[in-house]
Structure 1
Amino acid sequence: MAKKVRTKSLFSSTPKEHIRQLVNWMSQGVYEKEQIIAVALLCAVAGENMFLLGPPGTAKSMVASRLKMVFKGGKSFDYLMSRFSTPDEIFGPISISRLKNDDRYERLTAGYLPEADVVFLDEIWKAGPSIQNTLLTVINEHIFHNGGQIMHTPMKVLIAASNELPAKDEGLEALWDRFLVRMVSNCIESDSSFFKMIKGSGVELSELSESLYITNELYSSWQNESKSVGIHDSVVDAIKNIRKSLAALEKEDGNKLRYYISDRRWRKAFRLMQTSAYLNGRRDINLSDYLLLVHSFWNEVECIPNIINAITSSISDITVRQLNKIDKLIRQAMTTQSQRPQPSPFGLNIEHNNFAEYDYFYYLVENYPGGEVYFSKWDYTSLNSNPRDGIMFFETKKKKNVIHALIPSKPFDSTANNVANLKKVRLQKCPNGVIIDGTPYAFRLKGDRQQASQVSFDNLPIYQRIPLIQDLFKTCVEEWEKSVASNWTDCDNIFLSPNDLALVNKMLKDVSEQIKTIEVKLNNVVMMLK
């Protein structure tokens, strides 16, 4: 079990308890916006930016105004953009006195974006090129060029909003890519919440407890400690899967960049997941943190269903592929068994084989752990699927290890045959080779003097295949159940919504049904063999 993360003794509560209380405080009198508020707080701690898509009157600006209040001494800046907005309105007016007296072109930034901790820009896509270019520098490097001096901006998060996405072919792609988290803010859906809202007389926020303020010291502590968070192997596998899925979607979409995720965006996404894991009290990123990427990787609204499907599928992809393979093995085993020719009544293999012959009388057993071993060509024809006794010995005259099948009516004379190191073995016939003491081995084929592998799985008789399939199935299910237990059982990620968890539950249900189906098939095969 992962160790719980606690802040240094200087701070009174765990990060998770602290964030949960802040989200509850910020959500007073607000309905169905708890996740947006929580994720906005996550973005602020991670130092990432957020875009809210939605119609007017859906509490988008409220998120930023309340977020500012949780930072001790925090400053905010909010502005409604238009086609006629100027840089002076965003970054501050030019200081006439400094220009006149000192010949310095500087802005008066107090009360404007360069000195704000939390920034909210409504209708951001209406900003002109001069504002956009300056914003890119502020977002990328957290610096503002004010005349001849460079200001380091304290901005923790920029929240932008609009009821539309950026127009294509207008040079907005770079700015759009800087918003790591993208969420949809809709009107209230639940009837009960809706009537509570319209009947309410407005809520005055209760006073925030002094201990809940995020001070600069606490903020720095959270940021620094979260950078040491690792990543679980299950998340690594999921990321590998989603990268392949997104590449396939992009290719299928005609390379329109609707499913393209830049390396910079991936790096920022990793930082977001680290922060989520830390604030949830974990030392490693797990799949619940990874699920947050459904709010990061879409570029157009119509792409959201495909992104959701790709991310949820990537979580179970390895298990599903293993289950599909096991299902195929079961079907192949039954098909091969029904099509395999039956042995002759005398147990002789009358089919021609492609085995390489040695000294006219022997086949070479491949990969035998005791070294090169030769099997009697004539004895092989007497074997069948029923185990029987045999002997292995070192033939001193020919200086090689040899295996013979024992003939019940004819005892083996070790003295007459010049043998040493005699030992008894159990022999059984299998396609392309022989089973020695329960382990299948292939004979070397004609024209192949290199070492060959052991008898392939496909060539084993069904009664030997099924136990192997059962072991594969058991291991697959155990690994899946372990992953579910560590990531989703009692999942309490404070940044996930019930809708997010519903996506996971559907995926878990689909995998569970597939497991049950294969289990029934496997049990039926076992019953048929009894």
Structure 2
Amino acid sequence: MAKKTKSKSLFTTSQREHIQRLIEWMSQGVYEKEQIIAVALLCAITGENMFLLGPPGTAKSMVASRLKMIFKDGKAFDYLMSRFSTPDEIFGPISISRLKNEDRYERLTTDYLPEAEVVFLDEIWKAGPSIQNTLLTVINEHIFHNGGQTLRTPMKVLIAASNELPAKDEGLEALWDRFLMRMVSNCIESDSAFFKMLKSEQTEFKPLSEQLYITDELYGKWQSESRTVTTSDSVVSAIKSLRKLLAYHEKEDGNQLRYYVSDRRWSKAYRLMQTSAYLNGRKEINLTDFLLLTHSFWNDVETIPNVLAAFTSSISEATTKQLNKIDKSIRQMMTPQNNQVANKPLRININATEFVEYDYFYYFVENFPDGEAYFSKWDYASLTTTPRDGVRYYDSKRKKIIIHSLIPGRPFDAKSQNASNLIKVKIQKCQDGAIIDGTPYSFKRRTAPIHNADSIQNLPIYQRVAAIQQLFRECVENWENMTASNWRDGDNIFLSSADFALVNKTIKEVGEQIKAVEVKINNMVMMVMK
């Protein structure tokens, strides 16, 4: 069974707060843009690029201008593209003196893109082919060919913006694929935030505290240490599921590449998840980091609803599939044919030596709802599949629940058994242990039997009931452990309330499915054991 685990922290609290305080500082006087600012910071620390889709006047350029300010001695470059933009305006003008005197074709790159750490390009899709080709080299390899020299570019992040997506069949696909994170920047939606914006006065922008600057040394440390972050099993399972779901949507969509995610993109996404986990103070990627990729794996606005659904389904798929199989096993068991089997005399083959003995005289009853319970070994030897009277009580000396059969004509001596809270029960033998008041319970074995939902129908009827109950308990426990370790043990500072709302909706839906299956199991037990 899955065990609850908590990821160990790499950061102290103050170090985690460093990131939060940077986000708060960058968000001064800005409304409903906190997540875009946070993700832009995440991209910069990861070394990836970001695209903002939205109309004019929605603070897209502000994100880049404030991001530049958090890097110690950081340089920035921003430019509004047009159809007539030339490489000189982006990468620097040609040096006339070097061309004339040294016959060298070189650009003067000071204060231009090749020497900037934070770059903002507005209306990116209006860039001509010559600009696009050079941009691809800078993005892919972080180098700039300047005449006979090859220069390393210090660019940490390129933020591009537009009010439209790249046009099809114009050769923009390669450039579009280089923007790992893609976010929509809309106008302020809530009335309260809107009127706060209207009423706010232009106040002086608070300077950044010296200790909050990201130095080159700190930046390198974060990048290096984030690569040591590992992946949880729940994320591995979700990734496998998501790949299948996106492949299904791509096929259904006629292979138009609207749901296509390249291996390169997956690799970069993994690095982003590592960085997210690290900056949130964890040594392991969890599903909150995985959920960030909802802002990465869409290629068309129309596909966003399906992509979101694929992500939420991938998170719960293992559990919902198991619940569906358990539900199917219940329905198969409740068919008339199986009901007939239930009414026939039951032949069972039990090797009691498979059960673990406790204190020489007892077997341990697994998953007993009222506490730690033990069944008398000698009473079990004489037990049959025909119900008979028994008693359960609390042994004040052993501090455990004990279950005995009652022998006709011999009264039960409660005093000698240190017994209190006596309750009369009906008991009978079943394949894995005993049926107590109509509910089958397994005894702990030396080697546990392995059941799965597909093999249950080959088991005897009473063993099927116990196996279904066991599978259900394990399924619910695994789900609860997964949700606790991923969603309840702390927030992800890069996710928004809308992102968490998606998860909460999924958790609620799975919870409802669990309740429905539990009701069916209880009905099954009542019908089979009556």
TM bucket normalised to smaller:
0.7 to 0.9
Residue 108 (1) aligns with residue 113 (2): no
1:477 counterpart residue number? 476
Q: How far is 1:326 from its partner?
A: 0.6
Residue 4 (1) aligns with residue 9 (2): yes
1:160 counterpart SS class: strand
Task: For 1:52 and 1:199, locate their aligned partners in 2 and report how far apart those are by CA, in whole Å.
Answer: 27
Q: How far is 1:336 from its partner?
A: 5.2
Task: For 1:336 and 1:236, locate their aligned partners in 2 and report how far apart those are by CA, in whole Å.
Answer: 41
Q: How far is 1:171 from its partner?
A: 0.2
Residue pairs, 1:25-36, within 5 angstroms: 25-36=25-36
Task: For 2:472 and 2:337, locate their aligned partners in 1 and report how far apart those are by CA, in whole Å.
Answer: 20
Quick check: 2:323–2:475 contact (8 Å CA) kept in 1? yes
Please give the per-residue CA displacement for 1:446-488, whole angstroms capped at 9, x wherever unaligned.
Answer: xxxxxxxxx9532434322111100000000001100011000
Question: Counterpart of 1:69 in structure 2: which amino acid?
Answer: M
Residue pairs, 1:312-351, within 5 angstroms: 312-335=312-335, 337-338=337-338, 340=340
Q: How far is 1:526 from its partner?
A: 1.6
2:503 counterpart SS class: helix
Decide whether aligned partners of structure 1 residues 110 and 331 sit closer, same or farther in structure 2, where only a CA change above 3 A counts: same
Task: For 1:194 and 1:298, locate their aligned partners in 2 and report how far apart those are by CA, in whole Å.
Answer: 29
How many matched pairs?
432
Q: Could you list the runs of 5+ residues in structure 2 that have no partner in the other structure?
A: 1-5, 355-383, 387-428, 432-442, 444-453
Q: How far is 1:337 from its partner?
A: 4.6
Q: Could you list the runs of 5+ residues in structure 1 that have no partner in the other structure?
A: 8-12, 350-364, 371-384, 388-425, 429-437, 439-454
Task: For 2:219 and 2:455, locate their aligned partners in 1 and report how far apart those are by CA, in whole Å.
Answer: 59
Q: How far is 1:386 from its partner?
A: 5.0
Please give the per-residue CA displacement for 1:90-109, whole angstroms capped at 9, x wherever unaligned.
Answer: 00000000000000000000
Q: How far is 1:207 from its partner?
A: 1.2
Please give the per-residue CA displacement for 1:123-173, whole angstroms capped at 9, x wherever unaligned.
Answer: 000000000000000000000000000110000000000000000000000
Decide whether aligned partners of structure 1 residues 189 and 336 sit closer, same or farther in structure 2, where only a CA change above 3 A counts: same
Decide whether aligned partners of structure 1 residues 16 and 95 sit closer, same or farther in structure 2, where only a CA change above 3 A counts: same
Task: For 2:500 and 2:524, locate their aligned partners in 1 and report how far apart those are by CA, in whole Å.
Answer: 36
Where relative contact order (Cα < 8 A, 6+ residues apart) is larger, the structure is 2
1:488 counterpart SS class: helix
Please give the per-residue CA displacement for 1:413-444, whole angstroms capped at 9, x wherever unaligned.
Answer: xxxxxxxxxxxxx999xxxxxxxxx9xxxxxx
1:462 counterpart residue number? 461
Quick check: 1:322–1:476 contact (8 Å CA) kept in 2? yes
Residue pairs, 1:58-69, within 5 angstroms: 58-69=58-69
2:233 counterpart residue number? 233
Question: Counterpart of 1:51 in structure 2: which amino acid?
Answer: F
Question: Counterpart of 1:221 in structure 2: which amino acid?
Answer: K
Please give the per-residue CA displacement for 1:300-325, whole angstroms capped at 9, x wherever unaligned.
Answer: 00000000000111011100100111
Q: How far is 1:2 from its partner?
A: 1.5
Quick check: 2:32–2:188 contact (8 Å CA) kept in 1? yes
Q: How far is 1:348 from its partner?
A: 12
1:296 counterpart residue number? 296
1:157 counterpart residue number? 157
Quick check: 2:261–2:297 contact (8 Å CA) kept in 1? yes
Answer with 239-248 or 190-199: which moved more: 190-199
Please give the per-residue CA displacement for 1:322-378, whole angstroms capped at 9, x wherever unaligned.
Answer: 01111111111111555646888xx799xxxxxxxxxxxxxxx9xxx99xxxxxxxx
1:251 counterpart residue number? 251
2:451 counterpart residue number? none
Residue 76 (1) aligns with residue 76 (2): yes
Decide whether aligned partners of structure 1 residues 238 and 460 sit closer, same or farther in structure 2, where only a CA change above 3 A counts: same
Decide whether aligned partners of structure 1 residues 348 and 171 sit closer, same or farther in structure 2, where only a CA change above 3 A counts: closer
Decide whether aligned partners of structure 1 residues 427 and 161 sit closer, same or farther in structure 2, where only a CA change above 3 A counts: closer
1:510 counterpart residue number? 509
Q: How far is 1:17 from its partner?
A: 1.0
Residue 305 (1) aligns with residue 305 (2): yes
Residue pairs, 1:133-282, within 5 angstroms: 133-282=133-282
Decide whether aligned partners of structure 1 residues 258 and 124 sit closer, same or farther in structure 2, where only a CA change above 3 A counts: same
Quick check: 1:28–1:203 contact (8 Å CA) kept in 2? no
Task: For 2:164 and 2:385, locate their aligned partners in 1 and report how far apart those are by CA, in whole Å.
Answer: 74
2:519 counterpart residue number? 520
Please give the per-residue CA displacement for 1:265-324, whole angstroms capped at 9, x wherever unaligned.
Answer: 000000000000000000000000000010000000000000000011101110010011
Question: Counterpart of 1:5 in structure 2: which amino acid?
Answer: L
Give the TM-score normalised by the residue count of structure 2.
0.78
Decide whether aligned partners of structure 1 residues 348 and 231 sit closer, same or farther in structure 2, where only a CA change above 3 A counts: closer
1:498 counterpart residue number? 497
Give % identity: 72
